[in-house]
């Protein structure tokens, strides 16, 4: 029995055919564009999501050389918080406003004044944000009234894809929460937030549990995708939650470290963690569990920036940086290229290097930057531990896992054992696991992890190196205190 795991992301869609042991038999991928506007808009054409899904699915079937009849089920991982207004026939009325869109700044301020920053956070798990529905739909009414009047529904990526596949509008709690109109405590759309956005519940999809069956592929969808009608479609999840499942972060104390352009930490707990520094709690796909998300805004992107500036390749940077611990021991690199994310939440902090001398070169800086990102990760883990959260395992996925050196460095700086997932496309694996449990291949996520998640490497802290970085971390924190006062 084979399953499709589909990841409809921010820059493109991946599709993977996966067997019951978690082995990927074939993949497909297609990118799409982001559309920027002068007033801070970051938009997408929603139809691109479906076109890319079709291409990726057909390509995966071709690459896997399997029969469409071998595919039993489908589920999907998606970007969250990207909203499109559609008419009665689910045709987009304009571009979708992505989760990065900043046009609704004024409306976000009104949200804080009307409902309150803490109230919004306590309801939804997310701070008020101009990219989420209350602000951007309210802006749509005032600035694009004709679109607002014609809108029959407001959908995000998962509902749009679900409808294209099954003819049913459905969303799961992880994606619903990112819309910032869903109350994670009540498990329902929040009337006060809907009133602020000036929309009705009838304009929203139904909320089904993550992994619940939505329906079967329609004849039309099956023909377009190159699959057979009747293939079962299961409700997906937000991409970070799928990555958590796909890397094995399903039990209390498990923690995902997703290393992309932004590094994201997802900690699994038995209760939602609402904190003064705005850890973002949400309903984990595993029953009775919660995922708590924190983001480092500049991490992978910071090293990519330095790489391009120095005109070196990553392999050379890795090899040379590994030799520079002593020469770079007084360098402190604060990677705040887009302000400082969790736990600082400070847009005014900028990137900074302390302790630089004429003798330092690009590889000293590269090491210090890698250390800085890992120090920021340690601060996230420390903030998590202060809430009473127990950290038993750190599952690391994404681009940084291609660097054994950076992976080991992160292990030694955080003091946490790290497991590297073997399959890099963990969002696709996580989506496939949702379908695997739904279709009955596995009874629960624990057994699905044991059966489908494979690991490439395990790292444990090395006593001498960990001690070196414990001392340097204290200096890093003192330097940060000084930086905040500049």
Integer Cα distance of 274 and 473 in angstroms: 26
Q: What's the token pair of residue 260? A: 């992309």
Size (the chain), residues: 486
Query: Count of CB atoms within 10 A of residue 266's CB?
Result: 26
Please determine, looking at this structure, whether the domain spanning 249-421+454-486 carries the CATH number 3.40.50.150: no
Q: What's the token pair of residue 288? A: 């009775």
* Pairing of β 237-238 and β 71-78: parallel
Task: Give the distance from CA 204 to its chain's centroid.
Answer: 23
Cis peptide bond N-terminal to 290, omega within 30:
no
Q: What's the token pair of residue 335? A: 């990677």
CB–CB of 372/332 below 8 Å?
A: yes
pLDDT at res. 95: 98
* Helix or strand holding residue 294 (H, E): strand 290-296
Span 170-214, pLDDT tens digits: 999 999 999 999 999 999 999 999 999 999 999 999 999 999 999
Domain covering 2-235, topology: Nucleotidyltransferase; domain 5 (3.30.420)
Integer Cα distance of 88 and 152 in angstroms: 5
**CA trace torsion 221, 225, 229, 235 (10° rounding):** -70
Is the pTM above the cut of 0.85? yes
Query: Count of CB atoms within 10 A of residue 308's CB?
Result: 9
Q: What's the token pair of residue 435? A: 């379908």
What does each of the 486 residues of the chain score in pLDDT, given as a tens digit? 899 999 999 999 999 999 999 999 999 999 999 999 999 999 999 999 999 999 999 999 999 999 999 999 999 999 999 999 999 999 999 999 999 999 999 999 999 999 999 999 999 999 999 999 999 999 999 999 999 999 999 999 999 999 999 999 999 999 999 999 999 999 999 999 999 999 999 999 999 999 999 999 999 999 999 999 999 999 999 999 999 999 999 999 999 999 988 899 999 999 999 999 899 999 999 999 999 999 988 888 889 899 999 899 999 999 999 999 999 999 999 999 888 889 998 888 999 999 999 999 999 999 999 999 999 999 999 998 888 777 777 999 988 999 999 999 999 999 999 999 999 999 999 999 999 999 999 999 999 999 999 999 999 999 999 999 999 999 999 999 988 887
Q: What's the token pair of residue 61? A: 């079937």
Domain positions in the chain are 2-235, 249-421+454-486
How would you classify residue 153: left for phi > 0, otherwise alpha for psi between -120 and 50, otherwise beta?
beta
CB–CB of 205/157 below 8 Å?
A: no
- Which residues are 332's β-sheet partners? 354
- Per-residue CA distances from 378 to 102, 140, 157, 470 (Å): 29, 40, 32, 10
Return the closest-CA partner of residue 52 out of 21, 74, 31.
Answer: 31
How would you classify residue 19: left for phi > 0, otherwise alpha for psi between -120 and 50, otherwise beta?
beta
Query: Count of CB atoms within 10 A of residue 23's CB?
Result: 14
Long-range contact pairs involving 250-254 (C-beta distance under 8 Å, separation at least 24): 250/284, 250/286, 250/289, 250/445, 250/446, 250/449, 251/286, 251/289, 251/392, 251/446, 252/289, 252/390, 252/392, 253/389, 253/390, 253/391, 253/392, 253/393, 254/392, 254/393, 254/395
Residue-by-residue DSSP string for 154-204 = EEEHHHHHHHHHHS--EE-HHHHHHTT-EETTTTEE-HHHHHHHT--GGGS
- Which residues are 171's β-sheet partners? 207
Integer Cα distance of 483 and 352 in angstroms: 8
- Per-residue CA distances from 182 to 94, 154, 264 (Å): 24, 13, 22
Q: Do domains 2-235 and 249-421+454-486 have the same CATH topology?
A: yes
Q: What's the token pair of residue 218? A: 């329609």
Reduce the secondary structure of 221-255 to three states and give it as a string. HHHHHCCCCCCEEECCEEHHHHHHHHHCCCCCCEE
């Amino acid at each position: 029995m084979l399953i499709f795991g589909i990841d409809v992301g921010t820059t493109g869609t991946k599709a993977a055919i996966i067997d019951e042991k978690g082995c990927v038999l074939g993949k497909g991928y297609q990118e799409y564009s982001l559309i920027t506007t002068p007033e801070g808009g970051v938009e997408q054409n929603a139809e691109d999501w479906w076109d890319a899904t079709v291409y990726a699915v057909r390509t995966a079937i071709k690459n896997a050389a399997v029969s469409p009849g071998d595919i039993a089920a489908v589920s999907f991982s998606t970007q969250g918080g990207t909203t499109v207004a559609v008419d009665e026939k689910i045709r987009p009325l304009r571009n979708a406003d992505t989760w990065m869109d900043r046009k609704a700044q004024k409306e976000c301020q009104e949200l804080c004044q009307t409902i309150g920053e803490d109230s919004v956070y306590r309801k939804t798990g997310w701070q008020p944000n101009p990219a989420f529905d209350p602000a951007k739909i309210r802006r749509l009414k005032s600035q694009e009234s004709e679109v607002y009047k014609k809108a029959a529904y407001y959908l995000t990526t998962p509902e749009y894809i679900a409808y294209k596949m099954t003819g049913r509008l459905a969303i799961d709690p992880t994606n619903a929460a990112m819309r910032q109109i869903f109350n994670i405590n009540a498990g329902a759309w929040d009337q006060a937030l809907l009133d602020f956005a000036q929309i009705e519940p009838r304009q929203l999809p139904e909320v089904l549990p993550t992994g619940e069956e939505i329906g079967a592929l329609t004849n039309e969808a099956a023909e377009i995708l190159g699959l057979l009608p009747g293939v079962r479609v299961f409700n997906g999840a937000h991409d970070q939650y799928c990555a958590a499942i796909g890397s094995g972060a399903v039990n209390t104390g498990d923690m995902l470290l997703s290393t992309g352009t932004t590094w994201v930490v997802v900690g699994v707990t038995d209760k939602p963690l609402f904190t003064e520094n705005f850890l973002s709690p949400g309903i984990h796909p595993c029953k009775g569990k919660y995922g708590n998300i924190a983001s480092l805004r500049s991490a992978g992107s910071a090293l990519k920036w330095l790489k391009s500036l120095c005109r070196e390749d990553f392999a050379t940077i890795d090899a040379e940086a590994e030799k520079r611990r002593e020469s770079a021991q007084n360098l402190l690199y604060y990677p705040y290229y887009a302000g400082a994310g969790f736990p600082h939440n400070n847009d005014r902090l900028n990137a900074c290097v302390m302790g630089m001398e004429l003798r330092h070169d690009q590889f000293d800086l590269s090491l210090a930057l890698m250390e800085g990102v890992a120090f920021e990760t340690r601060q996230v883990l420390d903030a998590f531990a202060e809430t009473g959260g127990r950290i038993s395992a750190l599952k690391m996925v994404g681009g940084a896992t291609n660097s054994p050196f950076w992976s080991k460095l992160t292990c030694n700086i955080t003091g946490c054992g790290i497991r590297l997932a073997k399959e890099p496309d963990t969002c696709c694996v996580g989506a496939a696991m949702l379908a695997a449990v739904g279709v009955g291949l596995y009874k629960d996520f624990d057994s699905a992890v044991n059966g489908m998640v494979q690991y490439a490497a395990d790292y444990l802290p090395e006593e001498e190196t960990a001690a070196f970085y414990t001392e340097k971390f204290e200096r890093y924190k003192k330097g940060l205190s000084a930086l905040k006062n500049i």
